[in-house]
Amino acid sequence: MTENLLEPEYQDLVDTVREFADEVVAPASYQHDKDHTFPYEIVSQMGELGLFGLPFPEEFGGMGGDYFALALSLEQLGRVDQSVAITLEAGVSLGAMPVYRFGTQEQKEAWLPQLTSAKALAGFGLTEPDAGSDAGGTRTTAREEGGNFVINGSKEFITNSGTDITRLVTVTAVTGELPPKQEGGAPRKEISTILVPADTAGFTAEPAYDKVGWHASDTHPLSFKNAVVPQENLLGQRGRGYANFLSILDEGRIAIAGLSTGAAQGCVDESVKYAKERKSFGRPIAEYQAVSFKIARMQARAHQARLAYHHAARLMLAGKPFKTEAAMAKMIASDAAMDNARDATQVFGGYGFMNESLVARHYRDSKILEIGEGTTEVQLMLISRSLGL
């Protein structure tokens, strides 16, 4: 389990978040999922615990921790409620982290204290109908006009973008052209990232999606119609928007791997408990080898996923290259979550098909883990490239 070989400060955090997950998050999980309601009260309590500020310095309201601490916390939350876990993950790695990594001192002071306390949330507007992994497909534009950027375009699948406490969205947009990479080639799009406050005129979070899972997580398409923000809202170096976001994704994959490991472990825990209680032909189904072996394989997957994300996080903390290991961790852990959700549903039988069952919610929720923040195919591409293929 996660308790193995953790330093005392990490173990204390795991114990605290596990208790919070079991006593506060889990009892409210089904109702929020059923009603498709955002868990404001839980987000507020996570802010009070300091979870949204884990990897940020104290000067910006953070806890002075690191990404490993965040991933460990996400594992504990992901066991019982993926919607809550992804709200934290996106709020930190996609919302606040770009401001911290690439923002000016003024931008950090203006935004980070709100984001690290969960008094505000931020989203990252990257994906479009023809753009995501393919930066060249970006069609949202930001033209310069009188010291401002005028933004037009749309984004889709943006987490934390339409809540009552959403205050900011970082948007990738075409701000000009770059020379072709080779003579005679076509000019390339200059893509930059721009901070767009949620109350900006012309910026609209469109009606929320009707999703298969993550029902308590906030996800919207966004539209920009002559949305005007000052040029001082440029985040980081002009033309480096997409490159900067790729580095954010490398870190975020460790966090997603932690969340996915939690989902995989949650399926194990629920299956063990149910297999001991459910009787068939006069015996607990745990005594049947077909059931016990299935759960054993589930535990092996969760263990492998945990080792993978721990390793990637340790490399990151040591300042060593970790891109490939983060990709492997994300792929291994998301596969484990999906496979374990399927097997847990089989262990539960008909009860596993009822939404009040946690394993049913994991079954619906886990598929997106193989898609969001880089699909399994993208991870395979990164891993194969690292091998020189």
Q: Helices (H) and strands (E) in the chain — how many of each?
A: 12, 10
Among the candidates 119, 135, 169, a domain finishes at 119
Q: How many CB atoms lie within 10 A of CB 299?
A: 18
314 in a domain, yes or no?
yes
Please count the structural domains in the chain.
3
- Do 87 and 172 have their domain in common? no
Candidates 240, 262, 274; CA nearest to 349 is 274
- Do 211 and 165 reside in the same domain of the chain? yes
Whether 306 and 375 share a structural domain:
yes
For residue 129, give the CATH number of its domain: 2.40.110.10
d(CA 63, CA 101): 16
Phi, psi of 282 (to 5 degrees): 80, 5
- 78: in domain: yes
Distant-in-sequence, close-in-space partners of 191: CB < 8 Å, separation ≥ 6 = 135, 138, 172, 173, 174, 175, 239, 241, 242
Which residue, of 119, 142, 163, is where some domain finishes?
Answer: 119
Instruction: Print the domain residue range for 293.
Output: 243-386
Domain boundary (119, 149, 176) is at: 119
CATH at 102? 1.10.540.10
| 23: CB partners within 8 A, 6+ apart | none
Residue 2 lies in a domain: no
Tell me the CATH number at 265.
1.20.140.10
What is the model's pLDDT at position 1?
46
Asked, for residue 3, whether it belongs to a domain, the answer is no
Active site positions, annotated: 373
For residues 249 and 339, what is the distance between their CA atoms, to the nearest angstrom?
Answer: 24
**DSSP assignment letter at 282:** T
Q: Does residue 154 sit within a domain? A: yes
Residues 95 and 15 in one domain: yes
1 within domain boundaries: no
| pLDDT per residue of the chain (389 residues) written in tens, 0 to 9 | 444 689 999 999 999 999 999 999 999 999 999 999 999 999 999 999 999 999 999 999 999 999 999 999 999 999 999 999 999 999 999 999 999 999 999 999 999 999 999 999 999 999 998 887 777 789 999 999 999 999 999 999 999 999 999 999 999 999 998 887 777 777 888 999 999 999 999 999 999 999 999 999 999 999 999 999 999 999 999 999 888 888 888 899 999 999 999 999 999 999 999 999 999 999 999 999 999 999 999 999 999 999 999 999 999 999 999 999 999 999 999 999 999 999 999 999 999 999 999 999 999 999 999 999 889 999 999 999 999 99
Whether residues 334 and 301 share a domain: the answer is yes
pTM of the model: 0.95
Q: How far is residue 245 from each of residues 232, 235, 241, 299, 349, measured CA to CA in Å?
A: 19, 11, 6, 34, 42
d(CA 77, CA 223): 31
Q: By three-state DSSP, how is residue 57 classified?
A: coil
Instruction: Specify whether 130 is located in the same domain as 78.
Output: no
> What is the C-alpha separation between 334 and 367, in angstroms, rounded?
8
